Amino acid sequence: MSGAGAPDITVDGTGLRVTVVAASWHEQVMDGLLAGARRALADSGAQWTEVRVPGSFELPVAAARAVTAGADAVVALGVVIRGGTPHFDYVCSAATTGLTDVSVRTGVPVGFGVLTCDDEQQALDRAGLEGSHEDKGAEAVQAAVATAVAL
Ligand code: DLZ
């Protein structure tokens, strides 16, 4: 984890079934988030499957399906970049509220790896790519796996 006050999480996820649900907008950033998530999942020992959806708005329904299919934890990855209309706010709000609802309603942890950024550079800085300061795909995995183990 990174950022002021962030915990250092190392967790054994052996035996857990994790589903990664990933949006497809902003390909370069998504490639970084997915690579970071895969590294963290491999390190944790968990088994995982991946589901791609078009945009971040579609992440909650994919997360809900993953839970119904038996996932022990879900990791949601997406990138939303502010544009010239209020669309950004609606997509961010729908993704955040929808993923929270799935998690709280079902009791299955959902790692929140959705970047909500003012511009592409902010997203690249957090995508776990060479030169990035942060690796939010990996952090979302660590949070979801640690929560599944704790519960
Ligand atoms: C429409 C849209 C826009 C403008 N921007 C993004 C974005 O930055 N990131 C993202 O993940 N998705 C975006 N979308 C697509 C919506 O999430 C959704 O896929 C469409 O509104 C169709 O339901």
Structure confidence at residue 61 (pLDDT) = 98
Give the chain's residues under pLDDT 70.
none
**139 three-class SS:** helix
Task: Look up the CATH number of the domain holding residue 61.
Answer: 3.40.50.960
Q: Which ligand 1 atom minimizes the distance to the CA of 91?
A: 17
Please check whether residue 1 lies inside any domain of the structure. no
One-letter amino acid for residue 15 of the chain: G
Predicted TM-score (pTM) of this structure: 0.96
Instruction: Specify if 7 maps to a domain.
Output: no
pLDDT, position 11: 84
* Closest C-alpha to ligand 1, atom 15: 55
- Can you give the residue range of the structural domain that contains 139? 17-150
**Is 121 among the domain residues?**
yes
Tokens of 111: 């790692």
pLDDT at 10: 80
Q: What pLDDT score was predicted for residue 69?
A: 98
Q: Alpha-carbon distance 87 to 150, whole Å?
A: 36
Residue 6 is predicted with a pLDDT of: 76
Total tally of structural domains belonging to the chain: 1
CA gap 75, 42 in Å, rounded: 14
Instruction: Please provide the average confidence, as pLDDT, over all residues in the chain.
Output: 95
Model pLDDT, residue 5: 76
